Amino acid sequence: MKLKLLVEKLSYNDLVKVCEKKGNWRIPTLDEVRGSEHRNVWILDDIGIMEYESSHSLIWSDDGVVIANINHKHKIVVVVDEKVCEWKKDEDGIYSTSCGDSFIFTSYGTALNGFKFCPYCGSTIKEIL
């Protein structure tokens, strides 16, 4: 999980659409932004204050949680969930990938050959023993 600051300001509803379009982006929770340098951003949590229609119309600020109208535009921080492709080596030295392909090295393995990302799906490689 990684927090990513976007350069634009969006309403909450527009942010929902952007996250759906990207696929691996999502709106952070209060716990995910608390302690980070990001302030005054949309978060997902419902903390029980129902001043406006949407329970998700919250922004996090230095002095606590503040209610904001979902149509207001705020800085955007999203959580980017890292995609992982699991590579498992069989007894013949062939790596089967969780994205459905296979790969063989003539010597050594993924790390010593400098493979960090799957050449098939682009995800980070996680070697399974």
pLDDT digits (tens, 9 = 90+) for 81-93: 788 899 999 988 8
Instruction: Give the mean model confidence (pLDDT) for residues 108-113.
Output: 88
14, 75: one domain? yes
59, 18: one domain? yes
Tokens of 84: 């992982």
Structural domain count of the chain: 2
76, 88: one domain? no
User: What mean pLDDT, rounded, does the chain reach?
Assistant: 81
90, 47: one domain? no
71, 32: one domain? yes
> Which has more confidence, 58 or 14?
14
Q: Is 70 exposed, middle or buried (0-12, 13-18, 19+ CB in 10 A)?
A: middle
CA distance 62 to 40: 8
Supply the range of the domain harboring residue 97. 84-128
101, 49: one domain? no
Residues in the chain: 129
